[in-house]
Amino acid sequence: MATQLNTTTYSQINDDMNELLTSGAYSGVNITIYNDAGQTSIVNDVEGPIQNRKIGQIGYVASHTSSTTGQVVPGSITINFTDGTVIVAVDGVNNYWYSLQGIIFQPRRFGGM
Protein backbone atom coordinates (compact mmCIF):
# COMPACT_ATOMS: atom_id res chain seq x y z
CA MET A 1 0.00 0.00 0.00
CA ALA A 2 1.29 3.45 -0.89
CA THR A 3 1.49 6.42 1.49
CA GLN A 4 -0.35 9.65 0.71
CA LEU A 5 1.96 12.49 -0.32
CA ASN A 6 0.98 15.64 1.55
CA THR A 7 2.29 17.92 4.28
CA THR A 8 1.01 15.66 7.06
CA THR A 9 3.29 12.86 5.80
CA TYR A 10 6.35 15.07 5.19
CA SER A 11 8.14 13.89 8.33
CA GLN A 12 7.34 10.26 7.47
CA ILE A 13 8.90 10.47 4.00
CA ASN A 14 12.01 12.05 5.54
CA ASP A 15 12.18 9.36 8.23
CA ASP A 16 11.74 6.59 5.64
CA MET A 17 14.46 8.06 3.41
CA ASN A 18 16.79 8.47 6.40
CA GLU A 19 16.23 4.84 7.38
CA LEU A 20 17.13 3.65 3.89
CA LEU A 21 20.22 5.85 3.60
CA THR A 22 21.61 5.15 7.09
CA SER A 23 21.30 1.39 6.58
CA GLY A 24 24.50 1.52 4.56
CA ALA A 25 22.96 -0.62 1.83
CA TYR A 26 21.70 2.23 -0.35
CA SER A 27 23.35 5.17 -2.08
CA GLY A 28 20.15 7.04 -2.89
CA VAL A 29 16.37 6.82 -2.90
CA ASN A 30 13.97 6.40 -5.82
CA ILE A 31 10.30 7.25 -5.62
CA THR A 32 7.26 6.15 -7.57
CA ILE A 33 4.24 8.47 -7.39
CA TYR A 34 0.71 7.19 -7.94
CA ASN A 35 -2.72 8.70 -8.53
CA ASP A 36 -4.26 6.16 -6.15
CA ALA A 37 -3.51 4.36 -2.89
CA GLY A 38 -3.80 0.98 -4.63
CA GLN A 39 -0.75 1.78 -6.80
CA THR A 40 -2.57 1.09 -10.07
CA SER A 41 -2.02 4.45 -11.82
CA ILE A 42 1.40 6.13 -11.99
CA VAL A 43 1.60 9.93 -12.25
CA ASN A 44 3.13 11.29 -15.46
CA ASP A 45 5.03 14.52 -16.04
CA VAL A 46 6.98 15.95 -18.98
CA GLU A 47 9.51 13.09 -18.75
CA GLY A 48 6.86 10.36 -18.58
CA PRO A 49 5.90 8.14 -15.64
CA ILE A 50 7.33 9.14 -12.25
CA GLN A 51 8.49 5.60 -11.58
CA ASN A 52 11.70 4.76 -9.73
CA ARG A 53 12.92 8.33 -10.19
CA LYS A 54 15.87 9.40 -8.03
CA ILE A 55 15.10 12.06 -5.42
CA GLY A 56 17.50 14.98 -5.28
CA GLN A 57 15.74 17.19 -2.73
CA ILE A 58 12.41 17.52 -0.94
CA GLY A 59 10.97 20.80 0.30
CA TYR A 60 7.98 21.66 2.46
CA VAL A 61 5.84 24.80 2.69
CA ALA A 62 3.31 25.00 5.52
CA SER A 63 -0.16 26.37 4.98
CA HIS A 64 -0.14 30.11 5.63
CA THR A 65 -2.00 33.36 4.99
CA SER A 66 -0.59 35.52 2.20
CA SER A 67 0.54 38.90 3.51
CA THR A 68 -0.37 40.55 0.19
CA THR A 69 -3.79 38.99 -0.54
CA GLY A 70 -4.93 37.86 2.91
CA GLN A 71 -5.91 34.51 1.40
CA VAL A 72 -4.96 31.14 2.86
CA VAL A 73 -2.26 29.40 0.82
CA PRO A 74 -2.40 25.60 1.16
CA GLY A 75 0.69 23.68 2.23
CA SER A 76 2.75 21.77 -0.32
CA ILE A 77 5.60 19.36 -0.81
CA THR A 78 8.04 19.89 -3.68
CA ILE A 79 10.21 17.01 -4.90
CA ASN A 80 13.20 17.83 -7.10
CA PHE A 81 14.54 14.87 -9.03
CA THR A 82 18.14 14.42 -10.08
CA ASP A 83 17.10 14.58 -13.76
CA GLY A 84 16.04 18.23 -13.26
CA THR A 85 12.29 17.61 -13.13
CA VAL A 86 10.05 18.72 -10.26
CA ILE A 87 6.64 17.74 -8.89
CA VAL A 88 4.61 19.78 -6.41
CA ALA A 89 1.92 18.13 -4.27
CA VAL A 90 -0.45 20.84 -3.00
CA ASP A 91 -2.68 19.92 -0.05
CA GLY A 92 -6.32 19.73 -1.09
CA VAL A 93 -5.46 20.05 -4.79
CA ASN A 94 -3.32 17.04 -5.71
CA ASN A 95 -4.08 13.52 -4.56
CA TYR A 96 -0.80 11.64 -4.84
CA TRP A 97 0.54 8.55 -3.12
CA TYR A 98 4.12 7.31 -3.11
CA SER A 99 6.39 4.37 -2.48
CA LEU A 100 10.15 4.54 -1.91
CA GLN A 101 12.86 2.20 -3.13
CA GLY A 102 16.49 2.27 -2.05
CA ILE A 103 19.16 2.44 -4.76
CA ILE A 104 21.54 -0.40 -3.92
CA PHE A 105 25.05 0.79 -3.07
CA GLN A 106 27.57 -0.52 -5.60
CA PRO A 107 31.04 -0.54 -4.04
CA ARG A 108 33.79 0.33 -6.50
CA ARG A 109 37.42 -0.56 -6.46
CA PHE A 110 39.96 1.86 -7.87
CA GLY A 111 43.50 1.07 -8.92
CA GLY A 112 45.08 -2.25 -9.78
CA MET A 113 45.72 -5.22 -7.60
Question: For the segment 19-64, what is each residue's pLDDT rounded down to a tens digit?
Answer: 999 998 999 999 999 999 999 999 999 999 999 999 999 999 999 9
- How much is the mean pLDDT over the chain? 94
How far is the C-alpha of 12 from the C-alpha of 33, rounded, in Å?
Answer: 15
Confidence band of 111 (pLDDT split at 50, 70, 90): confident
Banded pLDDT at 85 (limits 50, 70, 90): very high
Average pLDDT over residues 77-89: 97
52 Rama sector, left if φ>0, alpha if ψ -120 to 50, beta otherwise: left
pTM of the model: 0.89
Instruction: Write down the pLDDT at residue 1.
Output: 76
Residue 90 near residue 6 (C-beta atoms within 8 A): no
* pLDDT at position 113: 58
